[in-house]
Structures are given as structure tokens and as C-alpha cells.
């Protein structure tokens, strides 16, 4: 088998990475739904698997240092995470754009009014 680096060289190509523009933040695998198509295997049975405050603060610090164009918050259901308000506030000051991926059904709960 020919090493990948040699295949690139023969083709006159160079493997270079660009500066990352998007920081994807996964708050955990806790979700109020149990969807068969979920690639995280998230669900109500995974409530203990959610991001803590210390990790959220580290993510915000990393985002500030990385100068990302977009912070993309996902989960499970990130709106069920107790650190979501902290993440949204911190990442909003660190990145020009913040995307919150949600199934929307959990926004009717207690956290929903805090995010409005």
C-alpha cells in the first residue's frame, strides 16, 4: 500500500488544514425525546451525562482564544442543560454567531423562559 503522503506528493497536492471557523459544543446526551435516528443515542435515560459548569467555562475560554466565527451548540437537548444560559451568554461574547440546535419541545419547560 502506498502511504497517503506519497499519493498526495505524486498528485502534486499538499495536505494543509485551514483555520477552524466553527466550534461545535455538545452539552451532553440528555434529551426529553428518544429518537431512533439520533446519532448521539440521546434520551431521557441519559440525564446524568450533561456538561457541568466547569467544562462550560473552559469551553467559553477556549472559544475566546480560538476566535471562531460560529459557536454551534448541540446535544442531546441543549435547552435541558443547566449550563445553557451560561454557554449562550459566554459564547455570544466570544463568537459573532451562536447557533442553538434544539428539538424545541423542551423550551416549554423551566429553561425556556430563561432563554427567551
> How far, in Å, CA of 22 to CA of 94, rounded?
12
Alpha helices in the chain (DSSP H): 4-10, 53-66, 84-94, 110-115
Domain ranges for the chain:
16-115
Task: Report the predicted TM-score, pTM, of the whole model to 2 decimal places.
Answer: 0.80
Grid coordinates standing for 25?
459544543
CATH for 16-115 is 3.20.20.70
pLDDT in tens, 41-82: 888 889 888 999 999 999 999 999 999 999 999 988 999 999
- Coil, strand or helix at 41: coil
Amino acid at each position: 500500500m502506498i502511504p497517503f503522503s506519497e499519493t498526495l506528493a505524486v498528485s502534486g497536492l499538499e495536505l494543509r488544514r485551514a483555520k477552524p471557523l466553527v466550534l461545535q459544543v455538545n452539552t451532553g446526551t440528555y434529551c426529553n425525546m428518544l429518537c431512533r435516528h439520533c446519532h448521539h443515542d440521546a434520551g431521557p435515560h441519559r440525564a446524568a451525562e450533561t456538561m457541568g459548569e466547569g467544562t462550560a467555562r473552559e469551553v467559553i475560554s477556549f472559544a475566546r482564544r480560538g476566535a471562531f466565527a460560529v459557536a454551534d451548540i448541540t446535544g442531546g437537548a441543549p435547552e435541558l442543560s443547566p449550563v445553557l444560559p451560561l454557554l449562550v451568554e459566554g459564547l455570544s461574547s466570544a463568537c459573532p454567531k451562536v447557533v442553538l440546535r434544539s428539538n424545541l419541545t423542551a423550551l416549554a419547560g423551566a429553561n425556556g423562559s430563561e432563554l427567551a
